[in-house]
Amino acid sequence: MTTSRGKVLEYLGLTLEYSTQGKVKISMYEYVQKIVEEAPKDMTGVTKTPAFNHLFVTNSDCHKLPEKMVQIFHHIIAKLLYLCRRTQQDIQTAVAFLFTRVKNPDSDDYKKLTHIIQYLRGTQDLTLTINPGDHLNWWVDSSYAIHPDMRSYSGVIMMLGKGAVYSSSCKQKLNTKSSMEAELVCIDDAMGQVLWTRHFLAAQGEYIPTKATYQDIKSTILLAENGRASSSKRTRHLNVRYYFITDQIKKGHMKVEFCPTQEMIPDFFMKPLQGALLIRMQEKILNLPTRKIANVHRSVLKEHMKKKNPKTDPRAGDSANAGENKNDGKESKTNKTKENKTKKKSVTS
């Protein structure tokens, strides 16, 4: 058995940096760089988002990939799965969806994979920074019936201070009849990790108060807290196992609290977010300084454009000279009018 000491440690492709007191910075620079460099040649370019807005939309008319391309597709997805569960959690939703397509991928799936690689090319410098705190919080949410087989999608995230300590993005294993029911299934799926985390921290000698699990549907919260007492005709068919949540709430192991939809961080793990909302969620999950991601993209895009157009357009100088000539012409006209005015004044006097 070997031991390592110091402020910078290497472990299974991860670099753990403890240079700043009270923080740990986790990066996988070399791992990401290798994925980008080994990607097929048709995956060049840079994008600002990890997924298209139509990530969950499939087209049955798309032609299937040949066997050789299927192996490449599967190989890259396997590498991305390792990456997205550790440092680059912002690609987890796209990778988790494409993982469900590895058996029979088509050309549309390949384009979505290309989009992830292009995004990684522009965000190789992003890291996950964790600032431990005293409060352990969970956010659990679902997206109802978004898969072609009408199954829902679950997103789970845990934070102990700042930065995501645990996250999950996965397709639910059964069909549900409403968004409320999908939310309840999502909470039940997360219960194993919630309780394990509680027992693990207790074994380390840490005091664990009742953990808050945040939800954005109040009817789901009532059903989780009251069990059959809050059941109606629409929820009588639910399996008894989902009322295991009610039992854990009564024992004080957890509590379910309301959180506004716009503040639900799991949206990042069940929807292909775009624009300002994507950046805001990334900053929370990876614990990044404000606008860090936008600056990284801007610098990478500038380098990409320089490589694409190394020579400046010769016509640019001509247009600039033309502009100067126009300005000179205007100045000469104004000077002439001034001279004419002065001449008229002298004549009249």
Using alpha carbons, select from 259, 248, 278, 161 the residue that is nearest to residue 216. 259
**Entry pTM:** 0.74
Residue 339 binned pLDDT confidence (cut-offs 50, 70, 90): low
> Scanning the structure block, which residue is given the tokens 């949540």?
245
- 254 φ/ψ angles, rounded to the nearest 5 degrees: -160, 165
Q: Could you tell me if 141 and 190 are in contact, meaning their C-beta atoms sit under 8 angstroms apart? A: no
Tell me the three state secondary structure of residue 125: coil
For the chain, the average pLDDT equals 80
Compute the distance between CA of residue 144 and CA of residue 133 in angstroms, rounded to an integer: 33
Residues ≥6 apart with Cβ < 8 Å to 206: none
Residue 207 has pLDDT above 80, yes or no: no
The predicted pLDDT at position 177 comes to: 85
pLDDT digits (tens, 9 = 90+) for 308-323: 555 544 444 444 444 4
Domain locations in the chain as residue ranges: 29-127+290-306, 133-287
Of residues 248 and 343, which shows the higher confidence score? 248
Q: Which helix (H) or strand (E) holds 251?
A: none
Of residues 208 and 68, which shows the higher confidence score? 68
The predicted pLDDT at position 264 comes to: 85
The predicted pLDDT at position 8 comes to: 92
The predicted pLDDT at position 309 comes to: 59
Residue 3 binned pLDDT confidence (cut-offs 50, 70, 90): confident
pLDDT digits (tens, 9 = 90+) for 259-270: 888 788 888 888
Class of the CATH-defined domain 133-287: alpha beta
Helices (H), 85-217: 92-99, 107-122, 179-203
Give CA 337 to chain center in angstroms: 63
Compute the distance between CA of residue 120 and CA of residue 275 in angstroms, rounded to an integer: 17
- Choice among 33-37, 40-44, 192-196 with the minimum mean pLDDT: 192-196
pLDDT digits (tens, 9 = 90+) for 141-181: 888 988 888 999 999 999 988 999 999 999 998 898 888 88
